[in-house]
Amino acid sequence: MSKLVKSSIGSFAAQTGLSLVEFIGTMLVATIGGPSMLGTYVLFVVVYDVGTLLSNLGVWEATVKRIAEGDSRGEFLAASFLTRGALLVPVLLFLVVFQDSIVDYIGDPVATPFLLATVSMVVLVETVSAGLHGEQMVARSRSSALVGSVGKVVIWGALLWLGYGLVGLLVGLLASKLLHVIVGVQFLSIRPRVPNRRHFQRLFQFSRYSWLGSMKKRAWIWTDTLVLGFFVASGLIGVYELSWRLSAAFFLISMAVSSVLFANVDQLLESKGPDAVSRAVSESLVYTGILVIPGVVGGIVMARPLLTAFGSEYAIGYPVFVVLLLARLSHCYENVFAKVVNALDRPDLMFRANGMFILLNVVGNVVAIATYGWIGAAVATAVSMSVRTLMAYRYLTSLIDLTIPRREILLETLAALMMGAVLLWVTRGGPTSTLWTVLTIGGGATLYGILVLAFIGRVRTRVRSLVTPFI
The domain spans of the chain are 3-404
Tens of pLDDT along the chain (471 residues) come to 455 555 556 666 777 777 778 888 888 888 888 888 888 898 999 898 888 888 888 788 888 878 877 777 778 788 888 888 888 999 999 999 988 888 888 888 888 889 999 999 988 888 888 888 888 777 788 888 888 999 999 999 999 888 888 899 999 999 999 999 899 888 888 787 777 787 777 778 777 766 666 677 777 777 888 888 888 777 888 888 888 888 776 666 555 555 555 455 555 555 566 677 777 788 778 877 887 888 889 888 888 888 887 777 888 888 988 999 899 888 888 888 887 887 777 877 887 888 888 889 889 989 998 888 888 989 999 999 999 999 999 999 988 888 888 898 999 999 999 999 998 888 876 656 667 777 888 888 899 989 988 988 877 887 777 666 656
The pairs formed by 181-185 with CB atoms below 8 angstroms and a separation of 24 or more are 181/121, 181/124, 181/125, 181/128, 183/143, 183/144, 183/147, 183/148, 184/125, 184/128, 184/129, 184/132, 184/140, 184/141, 184/144, 185/128
- Crossing angle for the helix pair 274-308 and 434-455, nearest 10 degrees? 150
User: Three-state secondary structure along 10-66?
Assistant: HHHHHHHHHHHHHHHHHHHHHHHHHHHHHHHHHHHHHHHHHHHHHCCCCHHHHHHHH
Annotate 166-218 with DSSP letters as a single string.
Answer: HHHHHHHHHHHHHHHHHHHHHH---------HHHHHHHHHHHHHHHHHHHHHH
pTM of structure? 0.77
pLDDT at 390: 93
